[in-house]
Structure 1
Amino acid sequence: MSRIVVIGATGHIGTYLIPRLVRAGHEVVAVTRGASEPYLPDSAWRRVERVTMDRTAEEAKGAFGAAIADLQPDIVIDNICFTLDSARQLAEALKGRVRHFLHIGTIWTHGFSEVVPTPEDVTKRPFGEYGVQKAAIEDYLLGLARRDGFPVTILHPGHIVGQGWSPLNPAGHFDDAAFQTIARGQTLALPNFGMETVHHIHADDIAVLLMLAMDNWSVAVGEAFHAVSPGAVTLRGYAEAMYRWFGKEPALSFHSWEDWKAMQTPENAAATWEHIARSPNASIEKGRRLLGYAPRYTSLAAVQESVSWLLGNGKLAL
């Protein structure tokens, strides 16, 4: 078994990944910025080595990469790298010192979808600071793999869903009021015709894909894979399914973008634009073919589990 260092270990992905790694017999080191706990309790965490490290502060000193290398990992999983400089500092420190490095990217590296479902190897035209930086990280890491044999695998998740936090809702933002509107059978306003798409992924399916990549090292190294559910959903289809899940008849109204935007808070409108401007619809064929990736959750099943958790824990008032 391997000694695995997980950076950003108690967040969305780590909550599900760490127990899987422990139960698979790995020696796990969880690196976090503070004393944060995972979203869900699990006895497996008692067998995890916990290391507190402020990535931002250590990177400012030029010491973060070396500090991770000093933990003597066989494998490093980086859940929280957002800039090219950050990726470069870590990768340079790990060259020749790890068997496998797994980086969590994002499907936002694609920018606008030109072909759907979108495969990993199309020309990417990202926009926005987050997508642009993540695309630059991908280019750098895959280039390092080609030139120097750096053993990297990149996963690009969609909208991450799981128990413990609010999912991206049918209006394209994260305000739980949209689910309250649906649950009460009231009318939910959607922009345009509600035909833009969102593509969820359950955090546990990301954890499974990470483990598949580690288990299939020879075909995973030097590659990037989408980590999404089997199919994207339109806002309209998503909303109608949630109405029926709550036992209500769908009640939707459709508005031009400008009219809909005027009906929302600035924060919700901005979040929706970020999602529907990209309207991701990503293929998982490469992951199926090379790694045997078969996500357990559809987008709707993942969201419904998350909403059930919100209801059961008093986070969503109806």
Structure 2
Amino acid sequence: MSASKPGTGLRVLFVGGSGVISAASVARAAALGFNVTVLNRGVSAERTVPNGVEHLMADVRDPAAVRHVLGTRTFDVVADFVTFTAGQAAAAVELFGGKCGQYIFISSASAYQKPPARLPITESTPLRNPFWQYSRDKIACEDVFTAAYRQDGFPVTVVRPSHTYDPTRLPLLFGWTDVHRMRAGLPVVVHGDGTSLWTLTHTADFAVGFVGLFGLNAAVGEGFTITSDEVLPWDAVYRAVAAAADVPDPALVHVSSDTIAALAPELGAGLLGDKSHSVIFDNSKIKRFVPDFGARIPYSAGARQIMAWHIDHPEARVVNPEYMALSDRLAAR
């Protein structure tokens, strides 16, 4: 690996590679000339592997199957998008130790202290989230990888994205159901008072910073936040979607996150552990390491991409009757 910007030809393995965050990074790495391999179960039809990218199928939870498909191969970079627990992290260290020059673990910016004691959030912000098990599990993964780096030199780099989206994903509480309600003139629930600040990062922008870390010796042992610099109150996020859906004045109603969590526990952890807190991220570090990085796609443009994708994919325009009823109940409060 090089301490400067890597050239083409690096052997890169994406573990996952077909998700909202990872697919754009696979495409960028391939476009830049890296020798890209994707390892996953091959079950996602939503995002396919680009032409020219090697696709290996195995369940990463089955180490024997992974060893079988990889054989004695080694990689300059392994990018891990599918480790979520400390046990899975320990298995990854055992599986890839000595077989890669750099192992990039996708953690989460939700692992940062909640509520944050100060803004902006930087890589030195403590990791602590008492509200959301997902975030605590990501912290535990980081602990495993960091211990392996300190004790045995396992070449980990940690990346913490925040809310990263592609054209298939709406950031609204109830997804397409909320767009339907906007167009029907029905009240649409926004958590809190709509003024808490949020950061939405287009996956194509994230990919520039992420792939830019590939092969950087100086990034081993380091952690990086990679997000947009655009910060929006939640009301502005909803209004951007409404504008893209040709709804000039959506009927937004505000309901406390605690109330939503009480009536919809499946949504509560993500609200109380992440979205209900204002977040502003300092991206100075990733910009120092990857000078090409800069989030260039504002959410107003991203929202139009999302709406265009949904127009082309009617199967995604699902109005959930349970969400309709829940929205009515919440709005009535």
Is residue 113–residue 128 contact of structure 2 (8 Å, CA) maintained in 1? yes
- Alignment of 1:229 onto 2:228: yes
Q: Secondary structure at the match of 1:160?
A: strand
Q: Please give the per-residue CA displacement for 1:184-226, whole angstroms capped at 9, x wherever unaligned.
A: 45432333311233322222222222211115x0332211111
Q: What does residue 287 of structure 1 align with?
A: 286
CA distance in 1, matches of 2:86, 2:258: 35
* Kept in 2: contact 1:206–1:227 (CA 8 A): yes
Contact kept? 2:157, 2:223, Cα under 8 Å: yes
- Structure 1 residue 30 displacement after superposition: 1.1
Helix, strand or coil at the partner of 1:55: coil
The 3-state SS of whatever aligns with 1:28 is: strand
- The amino acid of 2:73's aligned partner reads L
Aligned counterparts of 1:73 and 1:159: Cα–Cα separation in 2: 29
The yes-or-no answer on 1:251 pairing with 2:224 is no
Task: Name the structure 2 match of 1:103.
Answer: 105
| Shift in Å, 1:271 | 5.0
Contact 1:69 1:94 in 2 (8 A): no
CA distance in 1 between counterparts of 2:126 and 2:71 reads: 33
Shift in alpha-carbon separation, 1:135–1:268, aligned structure 2, 3 A = closer
Alpha-carbon distance in 2 for matches of 1:23, 1:16: 10
Report the AA paired with residue 121 of structure 1. Answer: S
Which residue pairs with 1:316 in the alignment? 317
2:18 is the counterpart of 1:19: no
Q: Which stretch shows the higher mean deviation, 86-95 or 276-285?
A: 276-285
Partner residue in 2 for 1:54: 59
Equivalent position of 1:158 in the other structure: 162
Q: How many residues align?
A: 306
Question: Which letter maps to 2:137?
Answer: Q
Equivalent residue for 2:148? 144
- Corresponding residue number in structure 2 for 1:211: 211
Q: 1:255 to 1:14 in 2, by over 3 A?
A: closer
Q: Using the TM superposition, give the Cα deviation of residue 88 of structure 1 relative to its aligned residue in structure 2, in angstroms.
A: 1.7
Which has the larger displacement, 136-145 or 119-128? 136-145
SS at match of 1:226: strand
- The question of whether the paired residues in 1 share the 8 Å contact of 2:110 and 2:273 is answered with no
**Shift in CA distance, 174/275, structure 1 to aligned 2, threshold 3 Å:** farther
**1:200 maps to which residue?**
200
Deviations 1:233-255 (A, max 9, x none): 22122223333442512432234
The one-letter amino acid of 1:107's match is: A
TM-score for the superposition, normalised by structure 2: 0.80
Instruction: State the shift of 1:258 in Å.
Output: 5.7
Structure 1 residue 92 displacement after superposition:
3.2
Change over 3 Å in CA distance of 1:257–1:214 after alignment to 2:
closer
TM-score, with structure 1 as normaliser: 0.83
Distance 2:261 2:103 in 1: 42
Q: What is the CA–CA distance in structure 1 between the aligned matches of 2:257 and 2:54, rounded to whole Å? A: 49
After superposing the two structures, state which structure 1 stretch, 18-27 or 246-255, moved more: 246-255
Q: How far apart in 2 are the matches of 1:23 and 1:231?
A: 26
Do structure 1's residue 189 and structure 2's residue 209 form an aligned pair? no
| Paired AA for residue 94 in structure 2 | E
Q: Percent identity?
A: 22
Instruction: Give the aligned CA root-mean-square deviation in angstroms.
Output: 2.9
Q: Who is 2:179 aligned against?
A: 179
Asked if the contact 1:2–1:74 (Cα under 8 Å) also holds between the matched residues in 2, the reply is yes
- 2:120 is aligned to 117
Any idea what SS the aligned residue of 1:248 has? Answer: coil
Secondary structure in structure 1 of the residue aligned to 2:94: helix
Name the structure 2 match of 1:130: 134
Does the residue aligned with 1:46 lie in a helix, a strand or coil? coil
Per the alignment, in what secondary structure is the counterpart of residue 75 of structure 2?
coil
Q: In the aligned structure 2, how far is the partner of 1:228 from the partner of 1:213?
A: 14
Alignment counterpart, residue 12 of structure 2, candidates 1, 4, 20: 4
d(CA) in 2 for partners of 1:191, 1:233: 14
Other structure's SS at 1:229 match: coil
Q: Distance in 1 between matches of 2:74 and 2:259?
A: 56
Structure 2: how far apart are the matches of 1:269 and 1:83? 20
Q: Distance in 1 between matches of 2:146 and 2:220?
A: 9
State the Cα deviation string for residues 268-315 of structure 1 (Å, max 9, x = none): 566544543444432212212232221222344333322321123223
